[in-house]
């Protein structure tokens, strides 16, 4: 490993050959007003190329140590020049801030003589330092010439792509040389892809005869082995007429590779032909009208012209031909138009152990059973050291099999196991571009296995100055994202499945990053076990008390990065930071996100190079004024309840996240012209908060929320924001206040919105509280600018009567949300790509026919009377609350109560409005088949209108119907049967709904909620048994506040039964049900089919006073998975649960139990709760708990809340770990006081007792 470390150290200097040196010198001398064109020409054309030669050749040179020393000096000179130039820029920024705040008058500064004197006085010392630093950098760089005579190389002899095989890369063949472990699924998947015709282009003269499948993974991960495994299978299967194997490697030689393809296709040695055209004609003959499989192993090149030339002869093959390639670089595969990617992952641990044993034992036969077990034990114990690398398993196993001795094996496995694997990875690293090398090595600051977030990494790289772009139109953050994509493509990063835009590094690659960055980066985990090198530039600390290593940290005078990771419990953190900021003046990144800093030291103002400051977990009431002098600061993360006025002095800020949400209170935010992140801006009638503050913020990205628009006076003021120029904004929310603005002019809102024209690339637009009657011109007709819009939301635009033609607004519109558009009367044609539609409280929208309205009108009085009767007898009075309905905002006053007369009047007024709207014009809602989510709330839909709009919505997955008073039945089975993708259905507050229609035909429905539908009918038992209106696919069922209409209303033939007002609910067909909740159903008397619910895990039954019977019980049918139960009467446990179900219960919550005592049969049920862990009693009238609680040996937590009648506790189980008595009788609380309370002896054994 030491040899690799030396090579890695030299490879780590490659970034110096990038344009960084020339850029530094150019920029520095420009500040000094010096012409260095001739000097730069010599540097760029002679010195820099010689430096590249030296770095390439150094690892094989006998003068390696001397070269390394010179490269270190060069690196130090670059760092010094960067720092001095950075200070010069700092003072320029300081002058700029003073000018903008009036510190220096424009008139005085504009005088040439004064201007020259001011510049000389201010920058004289800095200019001298800058000139010395630049000259030093030139002199060190020029020493490259001195080293060339010592190296017996020339430019032509430098190790390049042609030397790849000589440097350790082996040429591969299609033949398997060993047994394969753990790759059968991958092989079968690839074979399926090779056999399928999906993805082939349509027949045409330009269509390719082949498609491409790529295996992508790290070096040594087993890509070649898997490809060989596939070839081995295909030779036997004879699916392809010709199978070719070509090992490509880094060098892209079209002639040589074509010759290999000819040899592989013919099975014969290719004649020596120097003409590429002749070679290609030969290959064409071999492949014409044949179905071939070409394996291209280990590709690197991204030269599209070379690939186009190489693959040209393949066009003559038969359709269905395939190319299978292996690569570390996904980008190379993408360049070739790859259709399918196989991202190679680690094999299972058990398979890896088998693989390791295969190589370790070789062909040996061991008769000694004891020895065999010893060796197997050694392998299993040490397999994890190889980090899942098949290459490492092969290399190390090959050493072990030479000598079957347990001690020998242990000695081998204690050595450096990964030498050959690391050599392969180091070679991959050396072939990265210089800027990628630098960025990758920096990641050694993270811990192994850490999740690396894309945005955070982009910010760090940018703050460190690693991101370089010559294209001025490109944002630095966009270039950094390209760097990440390149590292992913090269397999140095792997996308994580844990969250979007996050990555992980393989452990071996993390080791590589540590190796190549050891002179620049250092990480301390737990405690300091070795000395921190004084020359390091980047440090991360993963330790509880970083103040323990204060002296070591403060001695690192060249440190640029300081990152605290993990949970910091250090009382001395404030003092530590004071010392660090006072001594480490070159810091550019300070990440304190894991610390709770109580007081930010004033010394932070001395960090003139600081770009990145993260204080997201620290709250300050006051900031030191010195923070306002951090003019270089670009990234700032805060968690504060107040902001300081000097924030706007930080004119280089690009991103600021204020987790306390106070950024909108910062005056004069417009000074931060580089700002890219401004989530919210609130307009106020105060200086510094005008809309024109947004004028110069042209760099804003992602999203912007502008509120307080009621304080904007006219179009001219709105135009000052220049929203149209903010090209980076993709989401825009425009908000007017809807409170206290009754006198606001509708025309004023219209003018303001007209002036807030957004950028044309906008994807999401939300408008809230707008009181204009028409839409702005930029949303209408030929002047529409929103052709890229994906989502449109209009909220509380209560005066808007008509929408623009939505279909022409944007053909790609996916989401449309219309909420509280009270006067909207009509919807235009909806775009074909729409996937989400929400209509909420659009009271003037009415869909249906006059015939429907007349039918509803004829039964209105009877239906309303039934609703009123139900509401008056409802056990939970809070289930109906008129004031919560959106209709109450336009037809009721806030003083309306939920008494019968108020409810009757309220419903009659609503029906009158709906009736009038339906009489005006017959309107049908036509929905596109692409729709996936539909929400209809507080709108007028009749049965026929709903039937028509749901017809053929085969993509619909979520449907919500709420507060639709005109609906009496769901659509019929022939309509609902077509909703084959529907998984969630919510029906709420449909007051007149009596029938569920064809609900049972929804074959994919998983979740069903029926809430406050007082006229809904239940399904009734017949003489031969019973059926259910519920679909059998259900996994979750919630029913609340449903009356289940009187039995004699539905079945006159059964009116003579003894219980004419009781209903049963059939559940037996719901085999997949895992959650069941039934509440506030006063007429429900029986649940049928409980024994069939073997997968039920959660059960809630409350406010069902007549539920006293179950034909069968949960658990009667066999096993029970019930874990949680919430009830309001313990008797329900006896009614609903068999012993098996009771025994499986972990959580029991008893709430609003109104009896003063438990019946004997209720208490008996408690003894069956053998698995119960949590028991809650809430708002119960009982005077005592069950006497047999002591027998519950699994009970861990007992929670009693607001049970005022309980005066004493029974003996409690020894297993109890927590007892909570909250808002209980003071007598009980006194009884439980330690140590003299009468009940203290019953609870003294409980570790945690909380009494309040």
Q: What's the whole-number average pLDDT of the chain?
A: 81
Stated length of the chain: 1252
21 and 55 share one domain: yes
Could you read off the pLDDT of 966-1006 as tens digits, one per residue?
888 899 999 999 999 999 999 998 888 888 999 999 999 99
pLDDT in tens, 1191-1209: 999 999 999 999 999 999 9
Q: Read off the pLDDT of residues 810-842 as tens digits, 9 standing for 90 and up.
A: 788 999 999 999 888 888 888 888 999 999 988
User: Which pLDDT score is estimated for 15?
Assistant: 79
* Confidence at residue 417, expressed as pLDDT on a 0 to 100 scale: 55
Provide the 10 A C-beta neighbour count for residue 507: 17
pLDDT digits (tens, 9 = 90+) for 1075-1118: 999 998 888 888 888 888 989 999 999 988 888 777 778 887 77
Tens of pLDDT, residues 1004-1040: 999 999 998 888 865 433 323 345 678 999 999 999 9
- Whole-angstrom Cα distance, residue 661 to residue 679? 9
Which helix (H) or strand (E) segment holds residue 1222: the answer is strand 1218-1222
Q: pTM (2 decimals)?
A: 0.75
Beta-carbon count within 10 A of 1024 CB: 6
> Tens digits of per-residue pLDDT, 730-784?
999 999 998 865 567 889 999 999 999 999 899 999 999 999 999 998 988 777 7
Torsion of the alpha carbons at 502, 506, 510 and 511, rounded to the nearest 10: 180
Q: Please, how many CA atoms are within 13 Å of residue 1030, restricted to the half-sphere of its CB?
A: 30
Above 70 in pLDDT, residue 6?
Answer: no
Q: Which helix (H) or strand (E) holds 52?
A: helix 48-58
Cβ proximity of 209 and 317 under 8 Å: yes
Chain segment 509-523, per-residue pLDDT in tens: 888 899 889 889 999
- Give the residue from 159, 192, 208 where a domain finishes: 159
Mean pLDDT calculated for residue range 353-362: 75
Question: Is 77 in the same domain as 169?
Answer: no
Cα–Cα distance measured from residue 580 to residue 183, given in angstroms and rounded to the nearest whole number: 52
* The pLDDT of residue 1002: 94
Residue 785: per-residue pLDDT:
79
Burial 204-230 (b: 16+ CB within 10 A, else e): eeeebbbbbbbbbbbbbbbbbbbbbbb
Q: Is residue 163 scored above 60 in pLDDT?
A: no
Distances in whole angstroms, Cα of residue 1118 to Cα of each of 1091, 1092, 1112: 8, 9, 12
Query: Residue 199: is its pLDDT beyond 50?
Result: no
Strand partners, 228: none
Residue 1008, strand partner residues? 985, 1037
Residue 106 lies in a domain: yes
Q: Could you give the CA distance from residue 1040 to residue 1009 in angstroms, rounded to a whole number?
A: 8
- 576: pLDDT strictly greater than 50: yes
According to DSSP, the residues that pair with 941 across neighbouring strands are 847
Position 715 pLDDT exceeds 50: yes
CB atoms within 10 A of CB 202: 6
Question: Are 262 and 386 members of one domain?
Answer: no
Are residues 222 and 310 located together in one domain of the fold? yes
CATH number of the CATH domain containing 500: 1.10.10.10
Domain tally for the chain? 5
Lowest mean pLDDT among 179-188, 194-203, 218-227, 1074-1083: 194-203
For 1212-1218, what is the mean pLDDT? Answer: 93
Q: Which tokens hold the place of 1235?
A: 């140590």
Q: Please indicate, yes or no, whether residues 223 and 148 belong to a single structural domain of this protein.
A: no
Domain annotation covers residue 1191: no
DSSP H/E element including 85? helix 64-100
Kindly report which listed range (286-300, 443-457, 644-658, 1048-1062) carries the lowest average pLDDT score. 1048-1062
Tell me the average pLDDT across 1122-1150.
90
**CB 729 within 8 Å of CB 706:** no
Give tens-digit pLDDT for 800-818. Answer: 988 888 767 778 899 999 9
Label residue 1178 by pLDDT band (50, 70, 90): very high
Q: Does residue 271 sit in the same domain as residue 319?
A: yes
Query: Does 472 lie in the same domain as 331?
Result: no
Q: Is residue 526 domain-resident?
A: no
Choose one of 159, 189, 215: the last residue of a domain: 159
Could you tell me if 407 and 454 lie in one domain?
no
Q: Tokens 């540590």 — which residue?
A: 514
- 913, 937 in Cβ contact below 8 A? no
Burial of 119 (0-12, 13-18, 19+ CB in 10 A): middle
Q: How far apart are CA 642 and CA 666, in angstroms?
A: 9
- pLDDT of 885 reads 53
Q: Where are the alpha helices (DSSP H) in 832-972?
A: 850-858, 860-873, 888-891, 900-920, 943-950
- pLDDT for 694 equals 94
Same domain, residue pair 122 and 21: yes
pLDDT at position 655, please?
92
Hey, what are 779's tokens? 């949303």
- Say how far apart CA 754 and CA 780 lie, in whole Å: 11
Residues 16 and 96 in one domain: yes
Residue finishing a domain among 973, 1001, 1016: 1016
**Region 123-128: what's the mean pLDDT?**
71
The dihedral sign for the CA sequence 1103, 1105, 1108, 1109: negative
Verify that 209 and 332 share a domain, yes or no: yes
pLDDT of residue 930: 93
Token pair for 796 = 């509380």
| C-alpha separations of 983 from 544, 948, 1008 in Å | 48, 20, 9
Range(s) of the domain holding residue 907: 835-1016
Q: Are 819 and 793 in contact (CB under 8 A)?
A: yes
Omega of the bond prior to 1235 within 30 degrees of 0, cis? yes
**Residue 113 burial by Cβ neighbours in a 10 Å radius (0-12, 13-18, 19+):** exposed
What string of H, E and C letters represents the secondary structure of 535-602?
CCCEEEEECCCHHHHHHHHHCCCCCCEEEECCCCCCCCHHHHHHHHHHHCCCCCEEECCCCCCCCCCH
**Would you say residue 1186 lies in a domain?**
no
CA distance 1192 to 590: 54
Helix axes 64-100, 2-11, angle to 10 degrees: 40
List CB contacts of 971: < 8 A, sequence separation 6 or more. 943, 946, 947, 950, 951, 997, 998
Angle at 997 between CA 996 and CA 1001, to 5 degrees: 100
Does residue 931 form part of some domain?
Answer: yes
Question: Does residue 1199 lie in a domain region?
Answer: no
Instruction: State the sign of the Cα–Cα–Cα–Cα dihedral 1027, 1030, 1036, 1037.
Output: negative
Domain assignment present for residue 327? The answer is yes
Burial 255-286 (b: 16+ CB within 10 A, else e): eebbbbbbbbbeeeebeeeeeeeebbebbeeb
Q: Looking at the structure, do residues 141 and 175 belong to the same domain, yes or no?
A: no
H-state helical runs in 668-805: 715-719, 746-755
More confident site: 212 or 1019 = 212
Q: Over 70: is that where the pLDDT of 881 sits? A: no
DSSP, res 923: B
Per the domain annotation, does 1037 fall within a domain?
A: no
Residues 6 or more apart whose Cβ sits within 8 Å of residue 822: 798, 841, 842, 843, 844, 890
Cα distance between residue 463 and residue 1046, in whole Å:
72
Token couple for 1061: 């007002």
DSSP state of 677: -
pLDDT range class, residue 161, cuts 50, 70, 90: very low
Residue 43 gets which letter from DSSP?
Answer: I
**How many CA atoms does the CB half-sphere of 1045 hold within 13 Å?**
20
Across 218-247, average pLDDT: 86
């Amino acid at each position: 490993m030491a040899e690799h470390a030396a090579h890695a150290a030299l490879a780590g200097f490659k970034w110096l050959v990038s344009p960084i040196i020339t850029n530094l010198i150019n920029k520095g001398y420009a500040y000094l007003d010096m012409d260095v064109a001739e000097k730069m020409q010599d540097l760029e054309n002679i010195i820099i190329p010689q430096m590249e030669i030296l770095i390439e050749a150094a690892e094989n040179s006998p003068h390696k140590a001397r070269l390394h020393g010179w490269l270190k000096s060069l690196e130090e000179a670059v760092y010094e020049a960067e720092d001095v130039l950075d200070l010069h820029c700092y003072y320029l920024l300081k002058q700029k801030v003073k000018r903008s705040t009036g510190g220096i008058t424009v008139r005085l500064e504009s005088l040439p003589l004064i201007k020259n004197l001011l510049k000389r006085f201010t920058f004289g010392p800095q200019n001298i330092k800058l000139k010395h630093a630049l000259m030093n950098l030139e002199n060190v760089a020029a020493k490259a010439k001195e080293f060339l005579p010592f190296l017996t190389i020339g430019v032509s002899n430098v190790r390049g792509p042609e030397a790849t095989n000589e440097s350790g890369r082996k040429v591969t063949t299609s033949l398997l040389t060993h047994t394969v472990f753990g790759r059968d699924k991958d092989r079968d998947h690839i074979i399926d892809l090779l056999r399928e015709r999906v993805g082939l282009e349509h027949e045409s003269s330009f269509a390719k005869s082949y498609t491409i499948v790529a295996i992508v993974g790290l070096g040594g991960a087993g890509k070649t082995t898997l490809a060989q495994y596939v070839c081995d299978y295909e030779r036997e299967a004879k699916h392809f007429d010709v199978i070719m194997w070509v090992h490509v490697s880094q060098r892209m030689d079209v002639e040589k590779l074509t010759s290999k393809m000819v040899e592989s296709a013919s099975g014969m040695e290719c004649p020596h032909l120097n003409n590429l055209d002749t070679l290609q004609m030969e290959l064409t003959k071999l492949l014409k009208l044949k179905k071939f499989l070409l394996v291209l192993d280990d590709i690197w090149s991204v030269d599209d012209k070379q690939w186009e030339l190489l693959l040209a002869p393949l066009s003559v093959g038969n359709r269905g031909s395939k190319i299978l390639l292996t690569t570390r670089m996904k980008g190379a595969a993408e360049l070739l138009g790859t259709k399918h990617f196989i991202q190679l992952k680690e094999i299972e641990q058990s398979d890896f152990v088998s693989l390791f044993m295969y190589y370790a034992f070789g062909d040996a036969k061991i008769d000694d059973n004891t020895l065999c077990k010893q060796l197997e034990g050694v392998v299993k114990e040490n397999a994890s050291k190889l980090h899942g690398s098949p290459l490492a398993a092969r290399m190390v196993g090959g050493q072990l099999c030479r000598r079957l001795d347990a001690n020998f094996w242990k000695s081998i496995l204690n050595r450096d196991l990964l030498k050959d694997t690391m050599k392969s990875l180091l070679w991959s690293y050396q072939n990265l571009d210089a800027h990628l090398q630098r960025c990758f090595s920096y990641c050694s600051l993270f811990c192994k296995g850490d999740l690396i977030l894309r945005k955070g990494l982009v910010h760090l790289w940018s703050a460190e100055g690693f991101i370089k772009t010559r294209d001025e139109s490109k944002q630095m953050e966009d270039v950094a994202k390209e760097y990440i994509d390149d590292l992913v493509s090269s397999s140095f990063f792997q996308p994580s499945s844990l969250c979007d835009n996050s990555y992980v590094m393989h452990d071996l690659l993390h080791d590589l990053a540590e190796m190549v960055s050891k002179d620049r980066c250092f990480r301390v985990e737990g405690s300091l076990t070795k000395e921190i090198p004084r020359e390091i530039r980047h440090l991360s600390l993963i330790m509880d008390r970083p103040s323990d290593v204060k002296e070591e940290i403060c001695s690192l005078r060249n440190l640029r990065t300081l990152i605290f990771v993990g949970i910091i419990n250090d009382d001395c953190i404030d003092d530590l930071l004071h010392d660090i900021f006072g001594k480490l003046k070159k810091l550019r990144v300070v990440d304190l996100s894991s610390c709770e800093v109580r007081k930010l030291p004033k010394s932070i103002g001395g960090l003139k190079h600081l770009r990145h400051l993260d204080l997201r977990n620290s709250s300050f009431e006051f900031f030191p004024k010195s923070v306002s002098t951090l003019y270089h600061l670009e990234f700032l993360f805060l968690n504060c309840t107040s902001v300081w006025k000097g924030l706007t002095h930080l004119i280089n800020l690009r991103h600021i996240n204020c987790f306390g949400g106070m950024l909108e209170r910062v005056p004069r935010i417009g000074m931060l012209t580089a700002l890219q992140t401004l989530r919210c801006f609130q307009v106020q009638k105060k200086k510094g908060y005008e809309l024109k503050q947004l004028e110069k913020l042209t760099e804003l990205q992602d999203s912007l929320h502008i509120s307080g628009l009621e304080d904007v006076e006219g179009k001219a003021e709105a135009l000052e924001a220049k929203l149209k120029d903010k090209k980076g904004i993709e989401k825009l929310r425009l908000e007017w206040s809807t409170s206290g603005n009754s006198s606001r002019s509708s025309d004023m809102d219209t003018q303001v919105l007209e002036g807030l024209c957004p950028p044309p690339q906008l994807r999401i637009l939300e408008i809230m509280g707008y009181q204009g009657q028409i839409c702005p011109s930029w949303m209408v007709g030929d002047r529409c600018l929103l052709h890229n819009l994906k989502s449109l939301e209009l909220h509380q635009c209560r005066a808007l009567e008509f929408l623009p033609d939505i279909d022409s607004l944007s053909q790609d519109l996916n989401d449309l949300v219309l909420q509280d558009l009270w006067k909207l009367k009509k919807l235009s044609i909806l775009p074909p790509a729409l996937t989400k539609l929400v209509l909420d409280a659009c009271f003037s929208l009415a869909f249906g026919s006059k015939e429907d309205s007349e039918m509803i009108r004829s039964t209105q009085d009877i239906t309303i009377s039934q609703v009123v009767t139900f509401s008056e007898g409802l056990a939970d009075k809070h289930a109906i609350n008129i004031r919560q309905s959106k209709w109450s905002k336009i037809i009721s006053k806030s003083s309306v109560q939920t008494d019968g007369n108020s409810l009757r009047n309220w419903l009659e007024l609503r029906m009158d409005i709906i009736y009038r709207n339906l009489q005006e014009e017959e309107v049908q809602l036509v929905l596109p088949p692409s729709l996936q989510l539909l929400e209809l709330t507080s709108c007028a839909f009749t049965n026929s209108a709903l039937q028509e709009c749901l017809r053929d919505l085969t993509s619909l997955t979520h449907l919500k119907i709420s507060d639709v008073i005109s609906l009496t039945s769901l659509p019929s089975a022939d309509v609902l049967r077509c909703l084959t993708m529907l998984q969630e259905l919510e029906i709420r507050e449909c007051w007149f709904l009596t029938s569920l229609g064809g609900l049972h035909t929804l074959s994919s429905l998983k979740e069903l909620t029926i809430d406050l539908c007082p006229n809904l009918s239940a399904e009734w038992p017949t003489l031969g048994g019973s059926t259910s209106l519920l679909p059998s696919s259900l996994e979750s069922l919630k029913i609340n506040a449903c009356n289940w209409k009187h039995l004699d209303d539905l079945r006159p033939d059964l009116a003579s039964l003894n219980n004419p007002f009781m209903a049963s609910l059939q559940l037996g067909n719901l085999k997949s049900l895992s959650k069941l909740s039934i509440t506030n159903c006063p007429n429900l008397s029986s649940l049928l089919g409980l024994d069939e619910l073997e997968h039920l895990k959660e059960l809630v039954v409350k406010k069902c006073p007549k539920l006293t019977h179950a034909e069968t019980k949960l658990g009667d049918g066999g096993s029970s998975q019930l874990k949680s139960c919430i009830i309001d009467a313990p008797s329900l446990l006896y009614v609903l649960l068999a012993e098996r179900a009771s025994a499986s219960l972990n959580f029991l919550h008893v709430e609003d139990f109104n009896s003063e005592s438990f019946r004997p049969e209720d208490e008996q049920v408690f003894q069956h709760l053998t698995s119960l862990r949590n028991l809650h009693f809430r708002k119960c009238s009982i005077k005592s708990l069950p006497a047999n609680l002591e027998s519950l040996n699994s009970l861990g937590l007992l929670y009693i809340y607001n049970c005022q009648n309980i005066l004493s506790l029974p003996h409690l189980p020894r297993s109890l770990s927590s007892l909570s008595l909250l808002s209980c009788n003071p007598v009980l609380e006194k009884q439980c006081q330690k140590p003299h309370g009468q009940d203290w002896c019953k609870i003294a054994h409980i570790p945690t007792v909380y009494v309040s």
